[in-house]
Structure 1
Amino acid sequence: MPNSFRFLGFLFMVLFLCAVFLQYNDPDAVTWYLAYGIGAFASLLFGLGRLKLRWAVLLSGFYIVFSIINWPEKFEGVVIGEGNIDAIEKGREALGLLISAGIMGIYALLIGKKKRLD
């Protein structure tokens, strides 16, 4: 895999770790430590060229399902002060999970492409 793609894994590992550290004051912080910690670990594995296609696909699906479960009944955006704070918080969490799903999906596509080229 080209170094630019490996760098992507290390970059997202750092970003996932930042997300982990930002959860310290969240009432359900352990849930988010696990969700984003798993993303950081998967990104590390991708950066090292050790992430398996099936795990990238599985994690992408996991994040999509977790996002659907966390989606607010009424999406009111992500800016505090423009709606119900609980709906905004749930919307932010769900969007973060969708971003995580997208990252894992990109990993899966890149791994799959590499397998076809080998």
Structure 2
Amino acid sequence: MNLFFKILGYLFALLFTISAVLQYNDTDALRWIIIYGIAALISLAFALNKIGYVLPLVLGVLAFIAFLYLYPSDFQGFDLNDGDIATVELGREAFGLLIISIVMLVFSFRIKRKL
């Protein structure tokens, strides 16, 4: 595997792990810890070249569908001072899923390309 993608896998494994840890004080913490934890594990498996393309592809598609579902119709930004706290929180969660989706799809296409 290309060194760039190996580093990218380790980097996102670390970033998704940090994201999971930072969810501890959220009202729906367990859900987001699991979501970011799975993304971290898949990123680590990608970096170690221990995963096929199907699992990141499925997670990427599911995360994108969830992004579309959660994206608030009146997105007001990411800062709590920008608008309603519930809408801002929904926007943050949606864009977290978008990041997971993009990363997983990149990993999947990279794995598929190398087969």
Unpaired runs of 5+ residues, structure 1, are none
Letter in 1 for 2:109: L
C-alpha distance in 2 between matches for 1:66 and 1:38: 15
CA distance in 1, matches of 2:58, 2:105: 9
Identity of aligned residues (%): 37
Counting matched residue pairs gives 115
Q: Structure 1 residue 49 and structure 2 residue 49: aligned?
A: yes
Deviation at 1:56, TM superposition (A): 1.3
5 Å matches for 1:1-118? Answer: 1-115=1-115
Moved more, 73-82 or 100-109: 73-82
Structure 2 unaligned runs (5+)?
Answer: none
- TM-score under structure 1 normalisation? 0.93
Tell me the distance in 1 between the aligned counterparts of 2:110 and 2:61. 16
Note the C-alpha offset of 1:109. 1.5
SS of the counterpart of 1:74? coil
Which one has a larger percent helix, Structure 1 or Structure 2? 2
Matched AA of 1:103:
V
SS at match of 2:80: coil
- Distance in 2 (alpha carbons) for counterparts of 1:84 and 1:14: 31
Opposite residue 113 of structure 2, the aligned amino acid is: K
Taking structure 2 as the reference length, the TM-score comes to: 0.95
What amino acid is the match of 1:111? I
Structure 1 runs of 4+ aligned residues shifted over 3 Å read: none
Pairwise CA RMSD:
1.0
